[in-house]
Amino acid sequence: MSGHVALGVDVGGSGVKGAPVDLRTGELIEDRVRLETPQPATPEAVADTVKQVADGFGHHLGDGTVGITVPGVVTEGVVRSAANIDRSWIGTDADALMTERLAHATHVVNDADAAGVAEARYGAARGTRGLVLMTTLGTGIGTALLLDGQLVPNSELGHLVVDGHDAESRAASSAREREELSWEAWAERLQRYYSVLEDLLWPALIVVGGGVSKKADKFLPLLHLRAPIVPASLRNTAGIVGAAVLAHEQGS
Ligand code: BGC
């Protein structure tokens, strides 16, 4: 692989998506490939799907490290939590499993951390000094903290207990759908969640990602916070791009 290209693969609850990324611009240099996430999404089954996605870009692999996201805490390549994924991930050495299955060096990271890195490098938080709080609103709530562009990994603020509830159980996008909340009713929950976060962290900027950020105009204008709160700009490529960046940095 040429020095400025790295492959990123984003493992989500419904799809496994991957593409080679131009690290100079954060753009995908080929169309993204998406395969259904196998069910049950055990580490072994997901590793097979990641391999299928990566094989499609074999001509880009070279000796670079492949970046892979998972929706859980990852320390030293080992998955430590599984709020919305198969519990058998807990304790799995995902780096070792993926490296063995792909027969290639891999680097596994948390999905929101990857998205945050991508937004900080190429997107909505580019150039922002101080603390940036990235939140992804989806099945759960993922968070990434970036200080002057540097990631503080595994922040897991989607599980902050707010008013006696795990925040993601009330404020994730899935809660809006499950409870058929109006945008206004959901925004009230987001207001409470982001206010608590803001009182604790005093970020310079809050970035909102996840599929629902496409509809940011329906709910962001309803929020009143000290920090500017803006939609993510990389949308559905942020995980792929951030995974590629982190893999490249780790492998170099
Ligand atoms: C997990 C996080 C993940 C987020 C988004 C949460 O439930 O605990 O690790 O980043 O969902 O997928």
pLDDT in tens, 25-56: 999 999 999 999 999 999 999 999 999 999 99
143-155 mean pLDDT:
98
What pLDDT does 252 receive?
A: 60
Percent of the chain beyond pLDDT 90? Answer: 93
Which residue, judged by its Cα, is nearest atom 1 of ligand 1? 72
The predicted-structure confidence for 177-204, as pLDDT tens digits, reads as follows 999 999 999 999 999 999 999 999 999 9
Inform me whether the pLDDT recorded for 1 exceeds 60.
Answer: no
Domains defined for the chain, CATH in brackets: 5-113+237-251 (3.30.420.40), 128-232 (3.30.420.40)
* Dihedral over alpha carbons 22, 152, 108, 168 (to 10 degrees): -110
Pick from 111, 134, 212, 213 the residue to mutate for probing ligand 1's pocket: most ligand atoms within 8 Å of its CB. Answer: 111
Distance 182 CA to ligand 1 centre (A): 24
Inform me whether the pLDDT recorded for 79 exceeds 80.
Answer: yes
Containing 111, the helix (H) or strand (E) segment is helix 111-122
* Pocket residues: Cβ below 6 A from ligand 1: 71-73, 81, 83-84, 110-112, 136, 138, 140, 142, 156, 158, 168
